[in-house]
């Protein structure tokens, strides 16, 4: 996991901007390296997927190092249940601060976190009313960062009264609200759908989504169960076989770096610069909805950026000097046959260029 320790808000005011920028830059470099070459890539990519569900842009934080806390919380919950993960995210400093959580107080309500919690992190659009949002905001009021940088309920700012949310009246706070939301069938559907779209690509049928969501609820929203159920669905296997999903920029960049094998710092720098123009710089999600998935990435300029970045990786002499190439480009490195080059082929610079600019290289 990335480790940065600088707490920028402890510095004098004029040093903070530079501190935030360098902290974020360090995080981005470390995280990309972990996704590409890390010892436990499977967990790293799962964390990345959940960072798309609970997205925080470092620019929204006075202390970008809070993102490392969010990431270890996610990682610690990967083998657990979505209910626990949601509870942990509702109390996560980075996520709360990015959605004005600490500004939400009994006598000065701010509904930002409550609304996104209902709309994006749990139930999904159309499954709640404006009253639910207001009541959820009351439940979430009064959390404050304490000295050990955890969120704590401040009784002077919290609204202690009864709240009625989705038909249940109780003295909700953040934890009991998260647990009540995770019991809702709509939550299982919404989250299954979000993960399905990211892992499989094409929309699931209503029937598939229904089976998946109810199976997931029976497993008590076990995260490993959901991952496995999605990936072993016939549509997922078919999608993999036929390359029906368009990769995220981060995936295709990681895949290209791995094939090239060069760990020269310029390779990481070129990749990060490219990720920004391709639209998927780590820790810079475009909105609280997270990143686009599959066909939502199709945009001419961004597709051009993908090619340009992968080509830039090949044209840098120092990066190339550090390349550790396989003996040949085997035919199983793409899901279907590339259009520009026939595989297997010699792992030459020219052949890599043909592969990297091939639309099929963009498919998962």
Task: Give the binding site for another protein (CB under 8 A).
Answer: 57, 59, 201-202, 242-246, 277, 287, 294-295, 298-301, 303-304, 336, 339-340, 357, 359-360, 362-363
Residue position matching structure tokens 């840098």: 316
Nearer to another protein, 208 or 245 (CB): 245
C-alpha distances (whole Å) from 179 to each of 25, 84, 104, 132, 341 are 35, 8, 20, 15, 52
C-alpha distances (whole Å) from 67 to each of 27, 63, 180 are 9, 8, 26
Residue position matching structure tokens 């959605």: 99
Nearer to another protein, 122 or 357 (CB): 357
Is-contact 65 16, C-beta < 8 A? no
Nearer to another protein, 13 or 107 (CB): 13
CB of 246 to another protein, least distance (A): 5
CA angle 282, 277, 38 (to 5 degrees): 35
CB of 357 to another protein, least distance (A): 8
Nearer to another protein, 228 or 241 (CB): 241
Structure tokens at 309: 């970045």
CB of 195 to another protein, least distance (A): 18
CB of 356 to another protein, least distance (A): 13
CB of 295 to another protein, least distance (A): 5
Nearer to another protein, 98 or 262 (CB): 98
Q: How many CB atoms lie within 10 A of CB 42?
A: 10
Nearer to another protein, 132 or 358 (CB): 358
Is-contact 146 152, C-beta < 8 A? yes
Q: By 3-state DSSP, what share of the chain in percent is helix, strand and coil, each rounded to 5?
A: 60, 5, 35
Nearest alpha carbon to residue 264 among 3, 29, 97: 29
CB of 107 to another protein, least distance (A): 20
CB of 285 to another protein, least distance (A): 12
C-alpha distances (whole Å) from 255 to each of 5, 37, 133, 334 are 29, 10, 41, 11
Nearer to another protein, 170 or 339 (CB): 339
CB of 311 to another protein, least distance (A): 10
- Three-state secondary structure of 73-93: HHHHHCCCEHHHHHHHHHCCH
- Entry field: residues in the chain: 364
Alpha carbons 103 and 97: distance in angstroms, whole number: 8
Nearer to another protein, 162 or 298 (CB): 298
């Amino acid at each position: 996991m990335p480790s940065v320790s600088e707490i920028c808000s402890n510095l004098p005011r004029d040093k903070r901007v530079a501190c935030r920028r360098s902290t974020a830059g360090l995080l981005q470099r470390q995280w990309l390296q972990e996704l590409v070459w890390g010892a436990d890539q499977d967990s790293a990519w799962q964390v990345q997927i959940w960072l798309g569900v609970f997205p925080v842009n470092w620019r929204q934080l006075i202390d970008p190092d809070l993102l490392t806390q969010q990431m270890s919380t996610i990682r610690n919950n990967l083998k657990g249940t979505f209910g626990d993960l949601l509870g942990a995210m509702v109390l996560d400093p980075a996520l709360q601060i990015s959605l004005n959580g600490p500004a939400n107080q009994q006598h000065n309500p701010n509904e930002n976190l409550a609304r996104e919690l209902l709309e994006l992190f749990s139930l999904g659009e159309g499954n709640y009313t404006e009253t639910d949002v207001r009541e959820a905001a009351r439940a979430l009021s009064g959390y404050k960062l304490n000295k050990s940088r955890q969120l704590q309920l401040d009784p002077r700012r919290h609204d202690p009264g009864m709240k009625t949310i989705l038909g249940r009246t109780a003295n909700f706070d953040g934890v009991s609200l998260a647990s009540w939301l995770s019991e809702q069938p709509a939550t299982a559907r919404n989250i299954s759908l979000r993960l399905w779209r990211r892992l499989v690509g094409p929309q699931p049928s209503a029937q598939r989504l229904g089976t998946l969501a109810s199976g997931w609820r029976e497993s008590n929203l076990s995260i490993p169960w959901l991952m496995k159920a999605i990936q072993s669905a016939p549509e997922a296997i078919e999608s993999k076989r036929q390359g029906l999903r368009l990769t995220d920029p981060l995936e295709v960049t990681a895949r290209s770096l791995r094939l090239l094998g060069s760990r020269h710092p310029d390779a990481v720098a070129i990749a990060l610069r490219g990720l920004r123009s391709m639209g998927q710089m780590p820790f810079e999600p475009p909105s609280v909805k997270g990143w686009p998935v599959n066909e939502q990435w199709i945009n001419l300029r961004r597709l051009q950026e993908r090619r340009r970045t992968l080509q830039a990786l090949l044209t840098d002499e120092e990066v190339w000097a550090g390349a550790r190439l396989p003996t040949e480009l085997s035919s199983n490195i793409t899901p279907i046959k590339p259009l520009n080059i026939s595989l297997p082929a010699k792992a030459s610079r020219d052949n890599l260029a043909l592969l990297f600019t091939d639309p099929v290289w963009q498919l998962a």
